[in-house]
Each structure stands twice: as structure tokens, then as C-alpha cells.
Amino acid sequence: MGGEPWGEFAGDGARERRALVRRIEADGVLADPAWRAAFAEVPRHLFVPYFYVSGTSGYERLWAGDPDPARRARWLRGAYADTAVATRVRDGELVSSASQPSLMALMLHALDVRDGDDVLEIGAGTGYHAALLSHRLGEEHVTTVDLDEEIAESARTHLAAAGYRPAVLAADGARGCPERAPYDRIVATCAVPAVPYPWLAQCRPGALVLAPLSTGLILLRVRDGTHAEGRFLETSAYFVALRGVGAYAPGRPGPRHGPAGDERFRFLWGLVAEALDRREALSLWLREGRPERERFGVTVSGDRQWAWLDEPGGPYAWPLPTAG
């Protein structure tokens, strides 16, 4: 944290935090008092000491130590804005970001954690998500991993500054974290092309897995180490792609790169691009009345997994790429 005078922002940060909680509450996803307390008490500005905003000439950096008071105020407002913020940019490309807080709240609500649950997070990011989980469950129940050692160390530093010390490991998230298994919940904050099989093998029966896939969020109930099934949440979701053995294969488009047009079609295209060409996918989409995300699901059975429309054994099913 570079010895920055974080106390300088305590009062303003608390005010911005209260405003953020009110904005998220307006979306109806902070009904659980435990999650409301987490968002109200975890100081998000400690996790984004700097971030980047896109401008006409590239990315502009805002940071806590800027000598200009107006720019420091912009940084603090941005740290508590209900938007995703770019936290790491390399060679002009986004490497890591802090997710939109209201989307985090929706995902945490969908995880349906219970006291005593052990949670594995794939993609440490800034550490803020792990801090919210640690506030709710206790840090001893939280593990977060990131392929990038620098990102993992930064998350660890941010967490410690906020008073949390969950397990933060530099590791390939597609392989999970077997040394701290089994888990009751696995949540990914990076997009995957398919469900990595090691995740299921590290879950207790009945566990939930929540992960961004295409431009949606799939919520799977794990039956055992080789079987899981579930549907997509209704919300859209855009995340930086997972890197490592389970990453998007070379030449295969990530979820942001579907054809132009209706956002629901881009979601479908992200699911079926392995099995259908664009014309077939468009024909299906129109024939089925431009289906919403929650009509789709994913089944994992043994060494196979597939996406489907309406029913796992129905007429519309498409294989997902081989996962790590």
C-alpha cells in the first residue's frame, strides 16, 4: 500500500460506502443483513488504490496519492461507483478488473452460503470479493487463487490492510486448489469456456458452482465429483477470461466477440459456436422467440458437458469444449 495515509479517506470513504449500499439495495439484492453488513463495512477503496478510466487517448490512471485534491476525489468516488473498474492494464490491454459491486452482490446472493461453508474463489482480482466472503463466513473458510503472482500478492496486501487474511494463492484457477478442498461453494470471477473438471472433484456433494460462461452466469448444483447441472441466472455478465489450462483455446472467440446485434443472441452464440455456424444459431434463436438466459443450462456428466435450451435431455443441446 506504499504507506499511504488511508485514514485520510476514512470519513469520506464511509459516506461513499453508505451511498453504494443504498444503490445496491435499490436493485433488491441486499435483503440478507449479513451481506448488507459486509458491503457497508468492507472499505472498497483499500482494494483499488488506483484504477484506470478509458479516454480518447487510452487509459487514464486515477490514484489515492494524486497531489491534486480534485483528482483524489474522483478516485474515491470511482472506487465506490457501482461500475466495474480496470485495475491492471498491460500493453494497452485489460488484464484485471474489479467487478461491479451490484453484480458482486447478486452473485453472492446466488451462492446461498451458509455458516461454516468453505468457499473457493477463482480469480483473486483486487481481493475485495474475498474480503466480502471473509466478512460473511470468516477468513478461515475462504480461499482465493490467481494465476498471476503479482495480482495474488497485491490482493493479499489489500486484504491485510483491511484486516482480512484468507488463503491467497498464486495458482492456475482452472485446476482449483486441491490442497484446501473440499469446498461447499466455488465462485469464479473470470469467464470460462466450459466447467473445469477439477472444480467438481474438489466439491462436497450438494455444493454450488457459480461461473461466468459466454455472457451469462451458470449456477450448477454438484451431485458428485463428475456430475453437476444447473441453469443460467437471468443477468448478463462480462468478465476477463480465465487464463491457464482451462482458458479459451487459440482462435476461439471469447464471450465479448460474438456477432453484433441483440445481446441475448451474443449469449447464445457464446454457447453454441463450437457446434453451430452463425446462420444456424440465428435461425434457432429466432425460431425459439429470442430466448432469455434463464431458459439455458449446462450439464456435466463424466467426461462430457453440454449446454441446452429448456431441458437437459431436450432437442436442443450443444457440446461445450473440453475443459481442464
Please name every residue paired with 143 in a beta bridge, in sequence order, or none if there are none: 120, 167
Please name every residue paired with 264 in a beta bridge, in sequence order, or none if there are none: none
Are the C-beta atoms of 95 and 86 separated by less than 8 Å? no
C-alpha 54/C-alpha 299 separation (Å) is 38
Are the C-beta atoms of 306 and 298 separated by less than 8 Å? yes
Neighbours of 226 (CB within 10 A): 14
Residue 61, CB half-sphere, CA atoms under 13 Å: how many? Answer: 11
Query: Any catalytic annotation for residue 96?
Result: yes
**Residue linked to cell 484446501:** 180
Q: Is 212 helix (H, G, I), strand (E, B) or coil?
A: strand
Are the C-beta atoms of 77 and 16 separated by less than 8 Å? yes
Instruction: Establish whether the linkage from the previous residue to 182 is cis, with ω within 30° of 0.
Output: yes
Interstrand relation of 216-224 and 227-232 (parallel, antiparallel or unpaired): antiparallel
Instruction: Please name which of 34, 44, 35, 38 lies closest in space to residue 10, comparing C-alpha atoms.
Output: 44
Region of residue 125 (phi > 0: left; psi between -120 and 50: alpha; otherwise: beta): left
Q: Which of 57, 96, 97, 301 is catalytic?
A: 96
Q: Is 317 helix (H, G, I), strand (E, B) or coil?
A: strand
Q: Which residues are catalytic?
A: 96
